Amino acid sequence: MTESELEVEDAAVGEQALSRREQAVARSLFTARARAENRLQRFLDAALELMNEGESGRDFTVHEVVERSGQSLRLFYQYFGGKHELLLALFEESVRSTAAFLSEKIDEETDPLERIHRFVIEYYRLCRPPLAGDPVDPLATAWVMVDFAQQLLTSHPTEAALAFDPLVSLFGEVLEDAEAAGCIRAGLRRSPIAGMVLEAIMFNAFSTTIGGTSVRTIDPDPAEELWEFILNGVGSGARDKIVKPA
């Protein structure tokens, strides 16, 4: 074997050894990441369980979350700076899962306007709190987070905007498709409209005090009433007949 051939062989062996080393490191990192994600999920699951059980939605302490998760307080603070960060992480998780669920639902519709309708109705139902005695769907977390969402929108608008982005983007895409099909007015600013509609759905579904209505009114369906309002508003279409005061 020539000297050049030996150099090629040595290089190949070196590359193979390096590749195995990289594989070992990658496998170790993958295992560590999976373990970290599992620990994180246990904190999130524990917090969600406590929120479902609490009368005020967020009525739990960090120590209760730690105890319910079966992990340590020291580990908790390796993941979160405090209760607010835990709630924010849980809220972001809720928004992502809600957006994924709604995406599947609206994909069942082909008509652009009906896709908007389906989004509004399904999101309303997710935000509607269950009645006492109703089984709690562990996947339906939107209603649990409404109280926190309201505070987040008021006190931390930047964080709220980032957290809501998956839902705003999804609804914006649905509006864009409807505009292209001529089903809604052209020129609407999709992001602000999406934000206003999402807020209207979320808080209307959760609150029953202002309008004096029941969250479980069957006839008419409050979700459908809200959809009619979103679609048609309160205008008569006869603006030119309105006489402005002198």
Query: pLDDT, tens digit, for every residue of 28-42?
Result: 777 888 888 889 999
* 65 and 100 share one domain: no
Instruction: List own/partner pairs for 136-142 with CB under 8 A and 24 or more apart.
Output: 136/52, 138/48, 139/97, 139/101, 141/48, 141/90, 141/93, 141/94, 141/97, 141/98, 142/94, 142/98, 142/202
**Is residue 222 domain-resident?**
yes
Query: pLDDT, tens digit, for every residue of 80-126?
Result: 999 889 988 888 888 898 999 999 999 999 999 999 999 999 998 88
Place of tokens 């040595």: 10
**Is residue 243 domain-resident?**
no
Q: Is the pLDDT of residue 71 over 50?
A: yes
What is the rounded average pLDDT for all residues in the chain? 78
Average pLDDT over residues 211-217: 49
* 75 and 136 share one domain: no
* 105 and 159 share one domain: yes
Residue at a domain's end among 80, 104, 130: 80
Average pLDDT over residues 58-77: 90
C-alpha 190 chain-centroid distance: 18
* 56 and 111 share one domain: no
Query: pLDDT, tens digit, for every residue of 158-176?
Result: 888 888 899 999 999 999 9
* 118 and 208 share one domain: yes
Question: Where residue 232 falls among pLDDT bands split at 50, 70, 90?
Answer: confident
Question: Where residue 11 falls among pLDDT bands split at 50, 70, 90?
Answer: low
Report which of 186, 145, 191, 188 is spatially closest to residue 167, judged by C-alpha positions: 191
**Is residue 244 domain-resident?**
no
* 227 and 107 share one domain: yes
* 124 and 206 share one domain: yes
- More confident site: 116 or 54: 116
**Cβ(142)–Cβ(202) under 8 Å?**
yes
* 122 and 205 share one domain: yes
**Is residue 2 domain-resident?**
yes
Structural domain that includes position 66: 1-80
Collect all residues with Cβ–Cβ distance below 8 Å to 6 and sequence separation of at least 6: none
* 149 and 230 share one domain: yes
Residue at a domain's end among 36, 55, 80: 80
C-alpha 198 chain-centroid distance: 11
* 23 and 121 share one domain: no
pTM, rounded to two decimals: 0.72
Residue at a domain's end among 54, 80, 106: 80
**Is residue 171 domain-resident?**
yes
CATH code of the domain covering residue 158:
1.10.357.10
Collect all residues with Cβ–Cβ distance below 8 Å to 9 and sequence separation of at least 6: 1
Domain count, the chain: 2
Average pLDDT over residues 64-68: 95
**Cβ(199)–Cβ(167) under 8 Å?**
no
Q: What percent of the chain has pLDDT above 90?
A: 27
Query: pLDDT, tens digit, for every residue of 174-211?
Result: 999 999 999 888 888 888 888 888 888 888 876 654 44
Place of tokens 């029953």: 208
